[in-house]
Amino acid sequence: MGTTVSIELTPDRPDDELRALIADVCGWLHEVDARFSTYKADSEVCRFRRKEITHADLSPDMRHVLDACADLWRDTDGYFDAYATGPLDPSGYVKGWSVEVASARLLAKGSNSHYINAGGDIRMRGHHPDGGPWRVGIRHPWEADKVSWVLALTDGAVATSGTYERGDHVVNPRTGKPAQGLRSVTVVGPDLALADAYATAALAMGEPGIAWLAKRALDGYDSAVVTDDGRAFSSANLPAAV
């Protein structure tokens, strides 16, 4: 996926069982990478791009991702667009979705307290091993050694999209040019797949994305935004620790 993934489990069982849980998550994430990579020529995405396979040949996971991307395109008025750069690229949905599924797999195996971080897209459940909530620092978009917010959650997802690390990697599909107006967008909610997609869509919208995000709070998705000129906005129920 072009990033590192860290997994933290509450040590509530023998080490060999914890290692087996982590191995299962890693296996799933490698499976996702092999299927959805836009760089590996033999991935399902690349084969679909080249029309070597048809929609009828697609795996259930691929069909789910395409359907979800279509729904998000509609729900974001076209700002979440898996075709924004031309060929199919569902990466803006896949990373968050794959970690959400990984968390569900851990939960199904009895791991009620865990924390998965995939390049800043985070899904946590339960409590930190010290007994308190999981704490997430949202990086300051100009000063890498500082944070803009510290969040505290026991069950939820945090996704951040910004231009400060990967540059102008999000395109405004209306103009075909790099998104402008917002430097950093963080979305907090119950589902990482949607939180990740909402953060990407809002970044693509630019400053109008702030008002669009405010409406998502009605569905349980809170947000924190920093504009290109340094202004900061956050929703009323953002789970800030400080």
Question: Which of the 8 DSSP states describes residue 139?
Answer: E
List residues bridging with 227 in a β-sheet: 182
Residue 218, pLDDT > 90, answer: yes
Phi/psi at 137 (5° precision):
-90, 130
What is the identity of the amino acid at 114?
A: H
pLDDT (0 to 100) of residue 169? 74
List residues bridging with 114 in a β-sheet: 9, 125
Average pLDDT, rounded, for the chain: 94
Q: Are 123 and 102 in contact (CB under 8 A)?
A: yes
pLDDT tier, 194 (very low <50, low <70, confident <90, very high otherwise):
very high
Residue 166, pLDDT > 80, answer: no
Calculate mean pLDDT across residues 196-212: 96
Q: Are 101 and 201 in contact (CB under 8 A)?
A: no
The residue assigned the tokens 């909610």 is 189
Q: Give per-residue pLDDT as tens, 103-128.
A: 999 999 999 999 999 988 999 999 99
**Percent of the chain clearing pLDDT 70 (strictly above):** 97
pLDDT tier, 162 (very low <50, low <70, confident <90, very high otherwise):
confident
pLDDT (0 to 100) of residue 202? 97
Domain definitions of the chain by residue range:
5-234
Q: Give per-residue pLDDT as tens, 41-65.
A: 999 999 999 999 999 999 999 999 9
Calculate mean pLDDT across residues 81-85: 92
pLDDT (0 to 100) of residue 2? 75
**E strand intervals along the chain:** 5-9, 114-118, 121-125, 134-139, 147-153, 155-162, 171-172, 177-178, 182-189, 222-227, 232-234
Q: Are 171 and 180 in contact (CB under 8 A)?
A: no
Class of domain 5-234: alpha beta
Q: Are 96 and 159 in contact (CB under 8 A)?
A: yes
